Amino acid sequence: MMEKKVIQITSGRGPRECEWVVAKTLAFFLVQSKKKGVKTRIVDQQAGRTSQEVLSVTVELTGENVGDIIGPWLGSIQWIGQSPFRKNHKRKNWFIGFFEVKKQKLIEFNEKEVKYQSMRSSGSGGQHVNKVSSAVRAIHLPTGIQAVSMDSRSQLQNKKTALLRLKEKLSGINLEKNKDAVIDKWSNHLELERGNPVMVFVGERFKLKKSSGLRTRRASRVSAPR
């Protein structure tokens, strides 16, 4: 089944070595995705100190059964090796995070999907305003969101104003959704679990450790003893 997913690989506010691991993991993952016929597009990338390091990267994936492909990667990724920047550093285990980013479904605006209703104006303006149905309500049919204008005695002008206010409401909702997506991505930086990795790479050549990435999927399919 054709799917579209968005993933994020992040150093989780770790040291420079983790940024190096993000870059290496990204390169490895892109190659593997291409081999499986998955199209990739880098949506956002926060550069590290050099071109060999990446603080965080967001990638859009499109292809058959993308969910099954990214499944074994979701979690923390470990690299075992000597720091490429601090040769005398004793630490040998470095962790980064691999997350799925829930894509926000934004409201698409099409003026053909707007319904207008005439209504009587209320408030100040005397008898003329109360007798004439000059106010206009604009309704976005897919969502039911409404905007009203009774500012003018001209129904045409109120229609234009109601449409403008409706667009502003929908834009505001989309803006809040985008803010939520940014917050979710930032939380990925904070929620990185350093331990229990789903993938393990070793050495300067960044080789995938045998059986790495298969443990979680296979274990989940083993039924509990009766």
Residue 184 has pLDDT above 80, yes or no: no
Q: What is the pLDDT of residue 153?
A: 87
72 and 10, same structural domain? Answer: yes
Residue 194: what pLDDT? 73
pTM over 0.85: no
Average pLDDT over residues 36-45: 93
In a domain, 191, yes or no: no
Indicate if 21 and 128 belong to the same structural domain.
no
Mean pLDDT value across residues 169-194: 71
Q: Is residue 190 part of a domain?
A: no
Residues 173 and 200 in one domain: no
Classify residue 188: in a domain, yes or no. Answer: no
Q: What token pair was written down for 134?
A: 């000059």
What is the domain range of residue 127?
A: 111-178
Q: Is residue 148 part of a domain?
A: yes
Least confident of 55-64, 78-87, 90-99, 212-221: 212-221
Instruction: List, for residues 150-176, the tens digit of each pLDDT value.
Output: 988 899 999 999 999 999 999 888 877
Is the pLDDT at 129 greater than 60? The verdict is: no
Residue 213 has pLDDT above 60, yes or no: no
- Residue 13's pLDDT is 79
Identify the pLDDT of residue 14. 86
- Residues 120, 97, single domain; the answer is no
Least confident of 34-38, 79-83, 178-182: 178-182
Residue 191: band (very low, low, confident or very high) from pLDDT cuts 50, 70, 90: low
**Average pLDDT over all residues of the chain:** 83
Q: Do the domain assignments include residue 151?
A: yes
Confidence class for position 179, pLDDT limits 50, 70, 90: low
Cα–Cα distance measured from residue 124 to residue 28, given in angstroms and rounded to the nearest whole number: 68
Domain check: are 73 and 13 in the same one?
Answer: yes
Q: What is the DSSP string of the chain?
A: -EEEEEEEEE-TT--HHHHHHHHHHHHHHHHHHHHTT-EEEEEEEEE-SSTT-EEEEEEEEEEETHHHHHGGG-EEEEEES--SS-TT----EEEEEEEEPPPP-PPPP-GGGEEEEEE---SSSHHHHHHS--EEEEEETTTTEEEEE-SSS-HHHHHHHHHHHHHHHHHHHHHHHHHHHHHHHHHHHH----SS-SEEEETTTTEEPTTTTTHHHHHHHSPPP-
Residue 123 has pLDDT above 60, yes or no: no
Residue 117 belongs to a domain with what CATH number? Answer: 3.30.160.20
Would residue 216 count as lying in a domain?
Answer: yes
Same-domain pairing of 14 and 94 = yes
CATH number assigned to the domain comprising residue 54: 3.30.70.1660
The phi and psi torsions of 3 (rounded to 5 degrees) equal -135, 160
Same domain, 91 and 200: yes
The number of distinct structural domains making up the chain is 2
Strand pairing of 135-140 and 145-149? antiparallel
96 and 117 co-located in one domain: no
Q: Is the pLDDT of residue 178 over 70?
A: no
Q: Note whether 71 and 37 are same-domain residues.
A: yes
Encode pLDDT of 93-121 as tens digits: 999 999 888 777 878 889 999 999 998 76
Q: What pLDDT, on a 0 to 100 scale, did the predictor assign at position 222? A: 35
Answer yes or no: do 12 and 41 share one domain: yes
Q: Are residues 45 and 119 in the same domain?
A: no
Residue 187 within a domain? no
More confident residue, 88 or 192: 88
One domain for residues 95 and 15: yes
Residue scoring higher pLDDT (215 or 153): 153
186 lies in some domain: no
